[in-house]
A and B are shown apart, each in its own frame.
Chain A
Amino acid sequence: MARNPQLNKHGELQHLLTTEGLPRDVITRILDTAEPFADVAEREVKKVPLLRGKSVFNLFFENSTRTRTTFEIAAKRLSADVINLNIATSSTNKGETLLDTVDNLAAMQADMFVVRHASSGAPYLIAQHLEATGRDHIHVVNAGDGRHAHPTQGLLDMYTIRHYKRDFTQLSVAVVGDILHSRVARSQIHALSTLGVPDLRAVAPKTLLPQDIERLGCRVFHDMREGLRGVDVVMMLRLQNERMQGSLLPSAQEYFKFFGLTEEKLALAKPDAIVLHPGPMNRGVEIDSAVADGRQAVILPQVTFGIAVRMAVMAMLGGGNA
């Protein structure tokens, strides 16, 4: 049987590429490890020395200031040196291949690559290349690849849900919005299903749902009111503006009318339901301001927890190499 490319021969995390196929005990260990890291930010010195002397390269082949910043903060709180490369505006434009870029940076003694790429599978390709060339001391963290995966976002959402709801095996969770184009949704759904959520719902218009959605263990709802009835957790997705240009959606106003989260629709969920959103939000498109700023939103805690979860992932990857 082929080895899970994310795990080393001891079953420990070697790269973080996707939540798909990540064993439940590994996910749980990441969430458990993130808890003490959450406290580091409360101290006089917001740093621990684990990655002192290590170099973390943020390789962003696709721009994302926010995600890059959260990885940068997490790495710096672990005392790593962080080098940011916005390759979207750099040497690949001069014709260099992805793997040549990686080889060059590896020759600069990189210890970890945090990779964002518009093509699905690019971080996996880099991880495979590093292992095939005997450089398995270099670790890869996927910071979002194409429509495929955004595992740290999925994991920080799991941390957030566990923080407020404790037990995954008792929950109804609705993932709402543009699931078809969303790497976040895929990472969430795989993690929720591995953690044993018994009632997992995909709420979206037909044009924004992948064909295999039911195979992932989701019940499909095209009517948002039906989909939200009685849920404990509402996970909103960002509607990417460029989707409006094709024929997938009529207009932002019409999308908001049917799939925007308003107080009136949220009232159908459990009274203590929480609302997540990965940011950046389009107010008045997928979420109403009254909900985004309301008492059930946990969108800003998600951001804070995200630093701790990324610290946990990088700390689990960066040690034990001898």
Chain B
Amino acid sequence: MSLPDAELLLADLAAQMRPHMTPDTALVGLHSGGVWVAQRLHALLGLAQPPGALDVSFYRDDYAQRGLSRDARRSSLPFDIEGRPLVLVDDVLHTGRTVRAALNELFDYGRPARVELAVLVDRGGRQLPVAATYCATRYAPPAGSRVKLVQDDGRLALRLVQDQE
């Protein structure tokens, strides 16, 4: 069983999104895979606004259990989000908890006009009522493993890795 080709998924995702982009639309990638996807989509879609990046470490719901993430990074939104249409971009959609955290963080920067969600892969297993607006494929990895996006020489690829816990 072979994993889908991330470059083909990316082209498909851009094609789905293209008719819905406005001159004000900005992409916001979620660290770290989502940031790579957002950068590629930004180029493919020719958007005016540079893409933003969110690290949701300060908004995660497992902080009380697991503590602060070891590699919390800066979030950066290089545009005013007030009244702007936004698309959150992630590589893999799973439980929906990261998206919940991202929405909470976004609203601490202001009130966007609309927030959509674009993902390369929906792997199922949702624990919250979250759905992608744009999704290139559905793919459920075998039990005990998860799908990971890697970037190699500017090209995106999907890998199967063992779950840590």
B residues neighboring A (CB under 8 Å): 55, 57-59, 63-68, 70, 72-76, 104, 107-110
Determine if B65 and A36 form an interchain contact, defined as CB atoms under 8 angstroms apart. no
Determine if B109 and A44 form an interchain contact, defined as CB atoms under 8 angstroms apart. yes
Determine if A322 and B64 form an interchain contact, defined as CB atoms under 8 angstroms apart. yes
If A35-B74, A36-B74, A36-B75 touch, whether A48 touches B67 (CB-CB below 8 Å) is no
Determine if A49 and B58 form an interchain contact, defined as CB atoms under 8 angstroms apart. yes
Cα distance A39–B65 in the bound complex, in angstroms: 25
Determine if A50 and B63 form an interchain contact, defined as CB atoms under 8 angstroms apart. yes
Which listed residue (A39, A40, A320) contacts B66, Cβ 8 A?
A320
22 contacts between A and B (CB under 8 A): A12-B67, A35-B74, A36-B55, A36-B57, A36-B74, A36-B75, A39-B75, A40-B58, A43-B109, A44-B108, A44-B109, A45-B108, A45-B109, A49-B58, A49-B59, A49-B104, A50-B58, A50-B68, A315-B58, A315-B68, A319-B68, A320-B64
Determine if A320 and B65 form an interchain contact, defined as CB atoms under 8 angstroms apart. yes
Cα distance A43–B82 in the bound complex, in angstroms: 12
* Residue A222 at the chain B interface, CB threshold 8 Å: no
Determine if B59 and A48 form an interchain contact, defined as CB atoms under 8 angstroms apart. yes
* Residue A316 at the chain B interface, CB threshold 8 Å: yes
**B75 shortest CB reach to chain A, Å:** 7
Cα distance A39–B77 in the bound complex, in angstroms: 11
Cα distance A57–B70 in the bound complex, in angstroms: 26
CB-CB < 8 A to B55: which residues of A? 36
**B112 shortest CB reach to chain A, Å:** 12
Chain A, residues 27-63, CB within 8 Å of chain B (1/0): the string is: 0010011011001100111011110000000000000
* Residue A245 at the chain B interface, CB threshold 8 Å: no
Determine if A319 and B70 form an interchain contact, defined as CB atoms under 8 angstroms apart. no
Determine if A320 and B108 form an interchain contact, defined as CB atoms under 8 angstroms apart. no
Q: Residue on B with the closest CB to A78?
A: B58
* Residue A321 at the chain B interface, CB threshold 8 Å: yes
Within 8 A of B (CB), among A230-250: none
Q: Residue on A with the closest CB to B101?
A: A49
Determine if A36 and B59 form an interchain contact, defined as CB atoms under 8 angstroms apart. no
Determine if B63 and A36 form an interchain contact, defined as CB atoms under 8 angstroms apart. no
CB-CB < 8 A to A319: which residues of B? 63-64, 66-68
CB-CB < 8 A to B59: which residues of A? 48-49
**B81 shortest CB reach to chain A, Å:** 9
**B78 shortest CB reach to chain A, Å:** 12
| Most B CB within 10 A of own CB, among A319, A321, A322 | A319
Determine if B72 and A36 form an interchain contact, defined as CB atoms under 8 angstroms apart. yes
Determine if B72 and A33 form an interchain contact, defined as CB atoms under 8 angstroms apart. yes
Determine if A47 and B108 form an interchain contact, defined as CB atoms under 8 angstroms apart. yes
Cα distance A16–B102 in the bound complex, in angstroms: 30
Cα distance A321–B66 in the bound complex, in angstroms: 7
Determine if A39 and B108 form an interchain contact, defined as CB atoms under 8 angstroms apart. no
Determine if B58 and A48 form an interchain contact, defined as CB atoms under 8 angstroms apart. yes
Which listed residue (B64, B70, B109) contacts A29, Cβ 8 A?
B70
Cα distance A42–B2 in the bound complex, in angstroms: 45
Which listed residue (B58, B64, B74, B110) contacts A321, Cβ 8 A?
B64
Cα distance A29–B70 in the bound complex, in angstroms: 8
Cα distance A32–B68 in the bound complex, in angstroms: 12
CB-CB < 8 A to B68: which residues of A? 33, 50, 315-316, 319-320
CB-CB < 8 A to B63: which residues of A? 50, 319-320
**B34 shortest CB reach to chain A, Å:** 17
Within 8 A of B (CB), among A140-182: none
Q: Residue on B with the closest CB to A39?
A: B74
CB-CB < 8 A to A320: which residues of B? 63-68
Determine if A43 and B108 form an interchain contact, defined as CB atoms under 8 angstroms apart. yes
